[in-house]
Amino acid sequence: MKRLPFEWLEEIIRLSMERIVVVDRDGIIAYIDDAYCDFLGTSMDKAIGLPVQEVIENTRMHIVLETGQREIENLQPINGSVMIANRYPIIIDGELVGALGTVMFPDPDNLRLYKNKMNKLMEELNFYKNKSVNELKSKYTFNDLVGKSAEFTTVKILGERVAGSDSSILITGESGTGKELFAHAIHHSSLRSEYPFVPINCASIPESLFESELFGYADGAFTGAKKGGKEGLLKVANQGTVFLDEIGELSLTSQSKLLRVLQENEIQPVGGQKTEAVNLRIIAATNRNLAKMVKEGTFRQDLFYRLNVINIELPPLRKRKEDIEAISRSLLLKLERKFYRNGTDLTPEVIKALEAHNWPGNVRELENVLERAINVLDGNRIELIHLPLYITDKEVKPQNTSYSGNEVTVNLSSSHFRPLKETIEEVEKKAIIQAMELTSGNKLEAAKLLGIGKTSFYDKCRYYGIK
Ligand SMILES: Nc1ncnc2c1ncn2[C@@H]1O[C@H](COP(=O)(O)OP(=O)(O)OP(=O)(O)O)[C@@H](O)[C@H]1O
Ligand SMILES: [Mg+2]
């Protein structure tokens, strides 16, 4: 057999993803590849012939020479990066003659590439993990929408009136105002109520899955595709209602794909030849200002017009303070079921405090406050001490915690001490709300502002009920 020339071997090593060092029986470097030397800030000329410990940080090659045992997938910090290191004893004719060490990702660009790839896969995985098995039925009716204020009654009547038509509806309103609840109620009162109600959260579908999720795919459309293909959500919703939640988070590319479906009333599965007709009623929701996004060029005007045939604007909780008591009581009933309690009441002072707060997170924030209260309750009455400080202690609040850039200053007098976790969470929540306000509800931008990843941002929003 013809042997490979040495230059070939060197080139093969250079092309491989792993960097390589070979030491002799005494731990002296016999070979180290060029790229590894580059990364270590040395050269082959200098490194070869030196004891390995003098050239590579945190090396364990000398230990492998002592034990004769291989070490696989060890994490090794070198030059501020953490490498995945493998170390093998080299045994020739039954004798230990040296050791081979390999490390992965010596090149920061490679590392970044892998990280991005992994992030994308993790995002897709999380999406599937979180995707709840929807019963495809509306869960709420107009009777579940609590509130008798003039503001709320007006939109409720509008909702009931337009439910019967087939026109597209755009529900707008701040976060936590009940947009999703409203969409359910509309479907429930519509002629389509016997057909599926399919909620699609546009913010949580990774761009790469948008088409296959909505339109489905044909058999063998791509590697990893399920045999026999898969039905898209829009097909599942046929004859029923599609609820496009957080529509403002859709990328321009996905917007165009969606618009095509709404114009043609047909879908084409990924990799499929034929189009399929669908009959859908669209309800979309967002807490962002789509008209403004159209002006800024981040939302397609034609799609906006298609969706905004009827606009229902849900009022923020602070504009319907007279509903706060009734909503609180209805939320309490719901929470009691969750925590196996009953007979929970609110003191008049608590109701007053709740009415005085301005609720940037609206009904969802109120729900969180009540859930927290139920959790710290001894008896059956929710009193002021069971509410978070930021609701009861209006004057103290502004000086209490301040947030500017990366610095958080917390000045608490002794009477205001409470578990550190709570304080940190409050500041964190506030920072998220501020970032959302600054970016007009754009979660991707807000996550960027806070310097955290999209997934972690969504987790935090879910945790704090900001969503
Ligand atoms: N009128 C109401 N009566 C009773 N509960 C309500 C009402 N409006 C909202 N809620 C409750 O408040 C919470 C938030 O409602 P929902 O999820 O519909 O808000 P949203 O407007 O979709 O928020 P986001 O923009 O953050 O998605 C839910 O738990 C819902 O049950
Ligand atoms: Mg919602």
Ligand nearest to the CA of 142: 1
What Å distances lie between residue 168 and 144, 164, 312, CA to CA? 22, 11, 11
- Index of the ligand 1 atom closest to the CA of residue 173: 21
Atom of ligand 1 nearest to the CA of 171: 21
Ligand 1 nearest atom to the CA of residue 179, by list position: 21
**Reduced 3-state DSSP string for 379-432:** CCEECHHHCCHHHHCCCHHHHHEEEECCEEEECCCHHHCCCHHHHHHHHHHHHH
Q: Is the pLDDT of residue 398 over 60?
A: no
- Of 123-132, 180-189, 371-380, the one with minimum mean pLDDT is 123-132
pLDDT attached to residue 412: 44
The listed range with the strongest mean pLDDT (106-110, 123-127, 229-233, 320-324) is 320-324
Please report which ligand is nearest the Cα atom of 317.
Answer: 1
Cα gap 443→315, rounded to integer Å: 21
Share of residues in the chain with pLDDT > 70 (%): 86
Mean pLDDT of 266-291: 92
Least confident of 228-237, 293-302, 397-406: 397-406
- Residues 76-84, mean pLDDT to the nearest whole number: 75
pLDDT confidence of residue 434: 84
Give the tens place of pLDDT for each residue, 221-264.
Answer: 666 666 677 889 999 999 999 999 999 999 999 999 999 999 99
Cβ density class 177-205: b for 16+ within 10 Å, e for less: bbbbbbbbbbbbbbebbebbbbbbbbbbb
Find, among 30, 37, 81, the residue nearest to 56 by Cα: 37
Q: pLDDT tens-digit profile of 411-431?
A: 444 445 566 777 788 888 888
pLDDT for res 421: 73
Ligand 1 center to 114 CA (angstroms)? 39
Residue 330 scores a pLDDT above 80: yes
pLDDT tier for residue 323 given thresholds of 50, 70 and 90: very high
Strands 401-404 and 29-32: unpaired
Structural domains for the chain: 6-106 (3.30.450.20), 119-315 (3.40.50.300), 319-392 (1.10.8.60), 402-467 (1.10.10.60)
Largest Cα span, the chain: 93
Query: How far is residue 85's CA from residue 102's CA, in Å, rounded to a whole number?
Result: 6
What is the structure's pLDDT at 465? 80
- 316 or 223: whose pLDDT is higher? 316
Q: Which atom of ligand 1 is nearest to the CA of 334?
A: 31
Whether 467 is in the pocket of ligand 1, judged by its Cβ within 6 Å, is yes
pLDDT-derived band of residue 68, with 50, 70 and 90 as boundaries? very high
User: Which is higher by pLDDT, 337 or 75?
Assistant: 337
The best mutation among 155, 180, 462 to test binding of ligand 1, ranked by most ligand atoms within 8 Å of the C-beta, falls on 180
Is the beta carbon of 267 within 6 A of some atom in ligand 1? no
Distance 216 CA to ligand 1 centre (A): 30
* Each residue's pLDDT tens digit, 123-147: 777 776 665 545 677 788 999 999 9
